[in-house]
Structure 1
Amino acid sequence: MATGKVIWGRGVILILFIVYQGIRSEQNVALSKPSEQSSDQGRPDLVASKVVDGCLDRKMDNGCCTHTQGSGPKTAWWRVDMKELMTINSITITYTNTVERRDRLAGYHLYISNTTSTPQDGTLCYVDTSSTIDEVQLVVTHQCPFVGRYVTVYNYRTEPLRQSWYYQYALLELCELQVWGCPSACYGGNCNSTTGACFYCFTGTYGDFCNMTCPANCKDNACEKDTGTCVETDIYSKSGLFCCISNARDQMQNVTKRWISIISDLSSSYIVRRLEFITNFVRIKRSGFLR
């Protein structure tokens, strides 16, 4: 009996783990998005867009990588514009597979930002601090739990070099950059890893990508995520199915206010006139006309 309970318990743990993994899935939100870089090598097959084309081939001559200018620059950068704010979980960098070029990638910085005034705008997610050339990873995933629109890979070279084994010029030979996350409209930053559709929406929005607004007559602005149907209807809403009830209620309130005002005015007038009558009566009686 004890063994059976242990096996059943493991099964529950496994199921919970699978469900959790499914909820936490993300997609590559940088795929096929606009990109740019500080300079070009000159070859039409080594351009910035190659880094977000979905190709993971790391051979420089196979048309899946980019290459900034090789001789002279002291700074180099590459950037992708995801076109909207994204809830980012992690970023995977794939560099060309020539081992001798580790000295070129070494020392790079990874930024997430909402502006592009400088290559170093935004939040620094990662900086390579490898002390030896063998420590530089050419395919690596960095955890970057931030919200932003732009991702920038930046590198620079100074005199003297930060490490003696660094390549003397700043250049980038990226083959792919994948940003794993979801549109920021997704509640909790959770979406389908294949379609990018949100699992949950913030209150007031609905749709696959949570980009539609719930009807105005929904109570507490809450509606079904898939259909937009109100979870509960506000019968006093001024729009939608119950607009007439709401308008009638408002009209009745206005009429009531007017009658209260009229009655108040009449009451005031009656009281004044009554006081005037009493005052005149007393005055006449004192004069001797009334015995």
Structure 2
Amino acid sequence: MAIVGRMMSYSGKTKKRLLIIDKTFCLENTLPPSFPLLHCCSRPECRGISHKRSLNLSRKNGTVVSQSSTYQVALPVRRAIDGNKGQTYEECSHTALGQSIAWFQVDLGGEYSLKSVTIYYRNETNWPPYRFRQFYLDVSNGSAGSTITLTSQRKRCYKDNITAPATPPAVIDIPCKETARYVIVETTYDAPEDNILKETGPVLEICEIEVYGCSVGRYGESCSPCQGCSTCDIISGACPCSDTCVNAACNPSNGYCTEGCITEYWGNTCKSQCSQHCIGNMCEQGNGTCTNDCAEFRYGYTCEHQCSPQCSPRTCDRVTGACSDCNAGYHGLFCNITCSPYCKSGTCDAHNGHCIGGCKANWTGNLCDKCGVYFFGPNCSNACSVYCKGNLCNNVTGSCTDGCEIGYYKDKCKWTCNPGCKNGCNKNSGSCDNGCIDGKYGNECYDVCSVGCISNCERMTGNCMCKRGWQGEKCRECSPTFYGPSCEEECSPHCYNGTCYVNNGSCIDGCTRDYTGDKCTQGLYETSPEDHGTAIGAGVGTSIFVVIVVVVGVVTLRLRRKRNDSSKAQKDERKESKITYEKERTNANRQDHSLPGKDHSLPDSHVHLGKRPENLETQEIGLYEIMDSGNEDSKTYENDANAKSVTPVTNTSNDASEENGNVYLVINESQLNSSHYDELHVQN
């Protein structure tokens, strides 16, 4: 192994012999530990060259660097861990001038086993590292910026003692085998060269800092796990002897104490302390079990547990912690379970928790932790539905366990089946699974069979056999020849086509010949019963008045003949322009084509409108002839300019006259000329 040495000049006056390792050697070899301080590649041509060693913790994720102050924004602290090992002004971090102290800190984020620290300080032509004199390197678990961290809490790995005009090396590798979180470079040195420049105060100009080491419990170049101890030498992996080993004697390969532990300690390395609850702080060195008994109210192998405060008395088994008895209201092995709040007496057996004196109302069970058979809910305050079979329900949900009484359904049997269901309904859906009672139909038997059904109707459709007078699949309509709310009344046999309206029995197509009225029950020439009675009475006196009747008849006949002769000429004139109107067959329900409230049908007859006499004045009357006719199929009429729609008189007894078997109605002139009637109707 060739090590090349030469003389180097510092500050131009003092020369110091330093070992400079060949560039190739730095690339291929690890620095030999026999050299406490070797400076490799300090020359500009060697920058960026690194030698093999442990992990550089400065560049890991989570590492944070800081400094006491910053000279310029362009020279931030992060320059010291950017991986650039250049040592010119612009490649370095720089604390401010005029301060009483300057420090630079690497925070690793947690404790690490450290091996060494390498610092690259500013070094340029005519600017040697004179400000680097008398710096010191500390490690600590407290931050340099914390006001509560004392210098005495630090461990010092290095202190530079060089005085002016000499300068320390610009690249320095410092061994530091410690376990710590913070690495601190600090100085209070005020360089005399700065006084010449009229600049005062300590200054740090760190260009790059590398902290080498491993996680705690690892060692070596590849950070392998320590063998046989939790911590070991960072380089060799040897376990350190604990000062709690008797005579500080241990196996160097694993750190196990060879002569045992001092009092109050146990374990292979004697680093574990006996429990403070062991009487006399004495314990087995192999497992830490208390040698003597435990302190009061304690139990466990190392007396680490506390007896339950509900033990009575306040003692328990040394190993298990079991209580011999419990305070009132508690039970269980450790008296840590409260008696049920529903125990009637508030107390229970200390071993099994059974309530003493039974349970409060609505609760049951040995522990009084369940609802009674007829109650449910979190407080057992809800009663099962009275419609649950046997009043039994789930003591949590209230669902009926054995189903519902007939007539109710759903899980709590609170829904009522339709009363039309036969023998109740489906427990879940409410449908009538057993069919419907007589007179009901449908899935849930809500629908009612028609009163027109002879007997019960079909379950799903409601169809049935109909009674007399009813029709349709469900027998909900009257037959055409029946009417009334119950379709029990038959239409008049004198209704034309035999049909009538279901609401009142009025004939739909009018009456047959010789009958009239809404229901066609009145004959045109029928004599009333009162007239028959009168006729019988009159017959008794016929013999008395026979002479008078004969005389009156003769006189009446003569007068009628005289009147007929005088009107014959007028009658012939009217017949020349008569128009034959066929009577429209109507009934009581077609009142929209006739005058309100009147029956204007005149079966099997024709109306003849005679020509208005020329001698009638505006208010005088005209005569209109009604004649029998057997021609029911006639649909024609003769057109006449004088034909008008007319309104019948309201009193035919006063305004109608009979001549030669013909009946005449008296019509006003204003009625004759009226144009707002569409048809001619004549009142019987």
Q: Name the TM-score, length of structure 1 as normaliser.
A: 0.52
1:54 corresponds to: 83
- Structure 1 counterpart SS, 2:107: strand
| 27-36 or 112-121, larger mean C-alpha shift | 112-121
- Structure 1 counterpart SS, 2:59: coil
| Partner Cα separation in structure 2 for residue 131 and residue 46 of structure 1 | 27
| Partner Cα separation in structure 2 for residue 177 and residue 52 of structure 1 | 6
1:34 corresponds to: 64
* Residue segments in structure 2 that go unaligned for 5+ positions in a row: 1-28, 34-51, 231-684
Q: Amino acid of the residue matched to residue 57 of structure 2?
A: V
Q: Does 1:190 find its partner at 2:190?
A: no
Which structure's CA Rg is the greater one? 2
Q: Assess, with a 3 A threshold, how the Cα gap between structure 1 residues 68 and 25 changes in structure 2: closer, same or farther.
A: closer
Question: Is the 8 Å Cα contact of residues 103 and 166 (structure 1) preserved in structure 2?
Answer: no
Q: Assess, with a 3 A threshold, how the Cα gap between structure 1 residues 104 and 147 changes in structure 2: closer, same or farther.
A: same
State the shift of 1:126 in Å: 0.8
State the shift of 1:78 in Å: 0.7
Q: Amino acid of the residue matched to residue 109 of structure 2?
A: K
State the shift of 1:74 in Å: 1.6
| Partner Cα separation in structure 2 for residue 79 and residue 60 of structure 1 | 20
Q: Assess, with a 3 A threshold, how the Cα gap between structure 1 residues 164 and 49 changes in structure 2: closer, same or farther.
A: closer
- Structure 2 counterpart SS, 1:152: strand
Q: Does 1:77 find its partner at 2:106?
A: no
Q: Does 1:68 find its partner at 2:105?
A: no
Q: Amino acid of the residue matched to residue 200 of structure 1?
A: P
| Partner Cα separation in structure 2 for residue 109 and residue 185 of structure 1 | 27
| Partner Cα separation in structure 2 for residue 156 and residue 119 of structure 1 | 16
| Partner Cα separation in structure 1 for residue 150 and residue 76 of structure 2 | 18
1:176 corresponds to: 208
Question: Is the 8 Å Cα contact of residues 107 and 129 (structure 1) preserved in structure 2?
Answer: yes
Q: Does 1:148 find its partner at 2:175?
A: no
State the shift of 1:204 in Å: 10
Q: Amino acid of the residue matched to residue 151 of structure 1?
A: V
State the shift of 1:110 in Å: 0.6
Q: Amino acid of the residue matched to residue 49 of structure 1?
A: R
Question: Is the 8 Å Cα contact of residues 130 and 167 (structure 2) preserved in structure 1?
Answer: no
Question: Is the 8 Å Cα contact of residues 84 and 183 (structure 1) preserved in structure 2?
Answer: no
State the shift of 1:131 in Å: 2.8
- Structure 2 counterpart SS, 1:104: helix
1:200 corresponds to: 225
1:261 corresponds to: none
| Partner Cα separation in structure 2 for residue 37 and residue 30 of structure 1 | 15
* Residue segments in structure 1 that go unaligned for 5+ positions in a row: 1-16, 193-197, 206-291
- 1:33-56 Cα offsets, whole Å, 9 max, x none, are 20111011122x311121122110
Q: Assess, with a 3 A threshold, how the Cα gap between structure 1 residues 90 and 26 changes in structure 2: closer, same or farther.
A: same
| Partner Cα separation in structure 1 for residue 187 and residue 215 of structure 2 | 28
Q: Amino acid of the residue matched to residue 181 of structure 1?
A: G
- Structure 2 counterpart SS, 1:55: coil
- Structure 2 counterpart SS, 1:171: coil
- Structure 1 counterpart SS, 2:134: coil
- 1:201-235 Cα offsets, whole Å, 9 max, x none, are 56699xxxxxxxxxxxxxxxxxxxxxxxxxxxxxx
RMSD of aligned Cα (Å): 2.9
1:122 corresponds to: 154
Q: Assess, with a 3 A threshold, how the Cα gap between structure 1 residues 40 and 94 changes in structure 2: closer, same or farther.
A: same
| Partner Cα separation in structure 2 for residue 73 and residue 119 of structure 1 | 19
| Partner Cα separation in structure 2 for residue 138 and residue 34 of structure 1 | 23
State the shift of 1:86 in Å: 1.3
2:399 corresponds to: none
| Partner Cα separation in structure 2 for residue 201 and residue 40 of structure 1 | 41
Question: Is the 8 Å Cα contact of residues 132 and 167 (structure 2) preserved in structure 1?
Answer: no
State the shift of 1:26 in Å: 0.9
- 1:8-47 Cα offsets, whole Å, 9 max, x none, are xxxxxxxxx99x99xx94111122520111011122x311
| Partner Cα separation in structure 1 for residue 117 and residue 194 of structure 2 | 24
Q: Amino acid of the residue matched to residue 118 of structure 2?
A: T
Question: Is the 8 Å Cα contact of residues 77 and 155 (structure 1) preserved in structure 2?
Answer: yes
Q: Amino acid of the residue matched to residue 73 of structure 1?
A: Q
Question: Is the 8 Å Cα contact of residues 106 and 166 (structure 1) preserved in structure 2?
Answer: no
| Partner Cα separation in structure 1 for residue 116 and residue 54 of structure 2 | 9
- 1:181-214 Cα offsets, whole Å, 9 max, x none, are 111131xx2242xxxxx32256699xxxxxxxxx
Match among 138, 144, 149 for residue 111 of structure 1: 138
| Partner Cα separation in structure 2 for residue 107 and residue 58 of structure 1 | 19
Which residues in structure 2 correspond to 1:4-15 (within 5 Å)?
none
Q: Assess, with a 3 A threshold, how the Cα gap between structure 1 residues 119 and 73 changes in structure 2: closer, same or farther.
A: farther
| Partner Cα separation in structure 2 for residue 89 and residue 125 of structure 1 | 11
| Partner Cα separation in structure 2 for residue 49 and residue 177 of structure 1 | 10
Question: Is the 8 Å Cα contact of residues 133 and 165 (structure 1) preserved in structure 2?
Answer: no
State the shift of 1:109 in Å: 1.0
Which residues in structure 2 correspond to 1:88-99 (within 5 Å)?
88-98=114-124
Q: How many residues align?
A: 171
2:11 corresponds to: none
Q: Assess, with a 3 A threshold, how the Cα gap between structure 1 residues 149 and 103 changes in structure 2: closer, same or farther.
A: same
State the shift of 1:142 in Å: 1.0
- Structure 1 counterpart SS, 2:224: coil
- Structure 2 counterpart SS, 1:51: helix
State the shift of 1:128 in Å: 0.8
Q: Assess, with a 3 A threshold, how the Cα gap between structure 1 residues 94 and 200 changes in structure 2: closer, same or farther.
A: same
2:425 corresponds to: none
Q: Amino acid of the residue matched to residue 225 of structure 2?
A: Y
Which residues in structure 2 correspond to 1:232-271 (within 5 Å)?
none
Q: Amino acid of the residue matched to residue 170 of structure 1?
A: P
| Partner Cα separation in structure 2 for residue 166 and residue 183 of structure 1 | 41
| Partner Cα separation in structure 1 for residue 72 and residue 158 of structure 2 | 29
1:5 corresponds to: none
Q: Amino acid of the residue matched to residue 92 of structure 2?
A: C
| Partner Cα separation in structure 2 for residue 86 and residue 166 of structure 1 | 37
State the shift of 1:129 in Å: 0.2
